[in-house]
Structure 1
């Protein structure tokens, strides 16, 4: 491939969290985190969609989960980042075990705030599992603070100043 074949990656559009129930997650992110709802789609059931040329259903072809039924909501979380919340009604054998940070597939959303201590108190009061604040005293982030939380649905978030 040539340099002309390389696309230009412009910006982050969204991150996605899979949740067991949409409405409580939407309420948390809108009421507590200040997000606003942009749109909803679904339920989108693979059983009701045409198969591809190889006979695979839509969700297997496009997201690698055969036989899925999904509903998603896109939220505007910050001026430059959207948050997609998605729930899977099918398949029924889906796992509810979340990867640890050290596991392949481990992840977190990083959000910048004006005051890490205030964010810790606020998020704790709104059902988040809040870890201890990390005060960084050396290196390129000296003087900064951050902390890790889990939202009420178990999704990992890093709060930074």
Structure 2
């Protein structure tokens, strides 16, 4: 019987990463509209220009599980306690563009806490976001709170909470 290795200490979230179709447009939105600060940029990194591993696989297959990839990424400081990475893949040629729905496997959203949900809706809609109907919570542990799901200009799901 194999002994289970010791559990590490999970310290914090380092970053959240989203793949976007247009890195510069997404960077402009999250920097100029949301207020994220660009920390660094890497790339383009192209598997065709990187050495193969001992098993003959390219770097991207070995490290990000996408053979033949070419990517560029930007790491941003979104809030004091969270970094947000945007990645644009230019290869391989069969990149899917559809996003999962919230109910689909891999579905996701970014929850952002704000001081005023209604003010955030007006501001974000003026910058290309689309809001669903506001959720007013009347009972339970979140009574008195409200939130709203929105999509950013690239179709990613945001939840704005107070």
> What TM-score, normalized by structure 1, do the two folds share?
0.96
State the number of aligned residues. 160
1:149 aligns to what?
150
1:100 aligns to what?
101
Separation in structure 1 between the aligned mates of residue 140 and residue 67 of structure 2, nearest angstrom = 46
- What whole-Å deviation, never above 9, does each CA across 1:14-63 have from its counterpart, x for those lacking one? 11111111111111111100111000000000011111111111111111
> What TM-score, normalized by structure 2, do the two folds share?
0.95
- What whole-Å deviation, never above 9, does each CA across 1:90-122 have from its counterpart, x for those lacking one? 011100011011110101111111111111111
Q: Note the aligned Cα RMSD (angstroms).
A: 1.1
| 2:24 pairs with 1:8 | no
Structure 2: unaligned runs, 5 residues or longer: none
Equivalent residue of 1:44, what SS? strand
- What whole-Å deviation, never above 9, does each CA across 1:55-75 have from its counterpart, x for those lacking one? 111111111111000000001
Structure 1: unaligned runs, 5 residues or longer: none
Which of structure 1's runs of 4+ aligned residues deviate more than 3 A?
none
Per-residue deviation, 1:2: 5.4
